């Protein structure tokens, strides 16, 4: 793997997700081109008019096309019924030209999200969020890993930040990030000692200060401050909060970067890597389905 230029901010190494995402996209494009440009298709399902969701989906399609993939969109109105949403997803499941399906979350409140995700076969679940995909992650079986936690691992690997034998705290326990992140860190190869902290953790500062790596994924703006971070620790910001139309992370970046050894920006850190890993999962989905050579 080629070396990546090291940028610093304050005293910390900046873990630049944009640069690594673009490198990943370029490698995917080269892989697809070398195979003769077979069609590798990512399809998204988006319900409603939520502006951030539309921005996220647009970015995913843009990068998929840059990687030489085919992208398709199923956009439904906010008032779509459960049956209409399930019909749209089922049609993509049956379409042999579609290899990966991403249902953009959150869905409108009147839609049963679990029932929609349950329609996705493991091979096409490129977001890695279904019961089957998460179960395979627990069992250590081949399958798609949730994109954001996988992106965090890619950033750590790329910057040679060791996890073996290290203490890591994951702040947040969602099925989307916190719990799969914990599983990735404790499985063989990563071999970290992991604490999962949450709103009921009474000694949050002490737990964080004992950690070599902090992964903040609670969705609570700037909750991780300089007093949470021991000098030289790695701080990964996953949480996203919108305040006055600006994206704010779970980490108080300006204060923490002066203490941390390495830190992700927000935006520009874990978000771009989520897209990179989605595209990697989509190529692997095509391989699983026999549409792309191994």
Active site residue 127: yes
Active site residue 60: yes
- Are the C-beta atoms of 59 and 271 separated by less than 8 Å? no
DSSP sequence for the chain: ------EEETTEEE--HHHHHHHHHHHHHHHHHHTT----EEEEEEES--HHHHHHHHHHHHHHHHTT-EEEEEEE-TT--HHHHHHHHHHHHH-TT--EEEEPSSPPTTS-HHHHHTTS-GGGBTT--SHHHHHHHHHT-SSPPPHHHHHHHHHHHHTT---TT-EEEEE---TTTHHHHHHHHHSTTT--EEEEE-TT-TTHHHHHHT-SEEEE-S--TT-B-GGG--TT-EEEE---EEETTEEE-SB-HHHHTTT-SEE--SSSSHHHHHHHHHHHHHHHHHHHTTSS--
Q: Pick the catalytic residue: 16, 124, 125, 127?
A: 127
Output phi, psi for 157, to 5 deg: -65, -45
Active site residue 16: no
Distance CA 223, CA 281 (A): 31
Q: Pick the catalytic residue: 16, 60, 166, 250?
A: 60
Question: Is the bond leading into 267 cis (omega within 30 degrees of zero)?
Answer: yes
Positions marked active-site:
60, 104, 127
């Amino acid at each position: 793997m080629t070396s990546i230029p090291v940028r610093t901010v304050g005293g910390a190494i900046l873990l630049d997700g944009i640069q690594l995402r673009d490198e990943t996209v370029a490698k995917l494009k080269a892989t697809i081109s070398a195979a003769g440009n077979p069609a590798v298709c990512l399809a998204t399902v988006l319900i409603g008019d939520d502006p951030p969701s539309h921005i996220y989906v647009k970015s995913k399609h843009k990068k998929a096309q840059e990687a030489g993939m085919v992208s398709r969109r199923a956009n439904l109105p906010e008032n779509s019924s459960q049956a209409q949403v399930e019909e749209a997803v089922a049609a993509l499941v049956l379409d042999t030209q579609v290899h990966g399906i991403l249902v953009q979350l959150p869905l409108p409140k009147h839609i049963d999200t679990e029932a929609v995700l349950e329609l996705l076969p493991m091979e096409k679940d490129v977001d890695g969020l279904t019961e089957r995909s998460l179960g395979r992650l627990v069992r250590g079986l081949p399958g798609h890993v949730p994109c954001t936690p996988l992106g965090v691992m890619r950033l750590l690997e790329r910057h040679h930040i060791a996890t073996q034998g290290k203490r890591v705290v994951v702040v947040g326990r969602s099925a989307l990030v916190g719990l799969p992140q914990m599983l990735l860190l404790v499985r063989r190869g990563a071999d970290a000692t992991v604490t999962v902290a949450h709103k009921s953790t009474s000694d949050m500062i002490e737990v964080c200060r004992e950690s070599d790596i902090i992964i903040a994924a609670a969705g609570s703006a700037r909750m991780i401050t300089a007093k949470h971070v021991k000098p030289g620790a790695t701080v990964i910001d996953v949480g996203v909060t919108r305040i006055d139309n600006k994206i704010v992370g779970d980490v108080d970046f300006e204060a923490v970067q002066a203490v941390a050894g390495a830190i992700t920006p927000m935006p520009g850190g874990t978000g771009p890597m989520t897209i990179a890993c989605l595209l990697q999962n989509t190529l692997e989905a095509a391989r699983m389905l026999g549409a792309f050579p191994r």
